[in-house]
Amino acid sequence: MKKTLSTTSFVITPSRSLLTHTTPPNDTTHFPQNKNTNGSPSHTLAKKPDTLQTYSYTNIRIASRTNNTLHDLLTCNTHHHDKFTRSSVYRLACPDCGKAYIGQTGKDFASRHKEHKQSFRHNTHTSKFAEHLNNHMHSFGPIQDIMNILEFHKKGPHLNTLKQFHIHKEAASHNHLNDEHTVTPNQIFDTILNFDF
């Protein structure tokens, strides 16, 4: 009892009245017995009582609690000081015309923004977004103004599908800057976009 209280950071000492208990049942569980040649049972297992069982013979009442609540499972974890230090699917919007590029990165968003900016400065044609800005003499804005985080998800098929959905969404409004070969007909995406939430 004292060991349990100390390991859970309780500094109080339980009174003797709390520790009074009734006699617990026999903690030895007997399985079906096969008798040895000398007539003694051959299978006897001592069962170790768990914590709740131990306290059930005292006047102390134990309540269990879990952090896996429905609210926690259905809501996103937002305990991040800077969302741009994470990675997944993002949207870059031209500050002059509003055209959008949908990207996916395993790096943090700040590093990916920097790569687009370097491509814009040196006109290296490694970024469709930077290529659009240079071809139309548009400006490159700060990360807070032009980058929007669309999804937080680990890399894999699910994330690829999320990226394709957002590309499809921009293409449906004739607003995308991604390669044309990344836009393919998808009736499921069309149904989602046409659904009135």
- The CATH number that applies at residue 175 is 3.40.1440.10
pTM of the model: 0.56
Number of structural domains (the chain) is 1
Residue 67 lies in a domain: no
Q: Write out the two tokens for 144.
A: 């807070």
Look at residue 112 and tell me if it is in a domain.
Answer: yes
Is 176 inside any structural domain?
yes
Q: Is residue 35 in a domain?
A: no
143 is a domain residue: yes
Establish if 163 belongs to a structural domain. Answer: yes
Torsion angle, alpha carbons of 156, 157, 162, 168, to 10: 130
Per-residue pLDDT of the chain (197 residues; tens, 9 = 90+): 555 544 554 444 444 554 444 555 555 444 455 555 555 555 444 555 566 566 666 666 666 666 666 555 544 454 445 566 676 899 999 999 999 999 998 888 889 999 999 999 999 989 999 999 999 999 999 999 999 999 887 778 888 899 999 999 999 999 999 998 888 889 999 998 888 55
Note whether residue 41 is domain-resident: no
Inter-CA distances, 182 with 18, 95, 157, Å: 69, 23, 15
Residue 26 lies in a domain: no
Domain membership of residue 147 as a residue range: 85-194
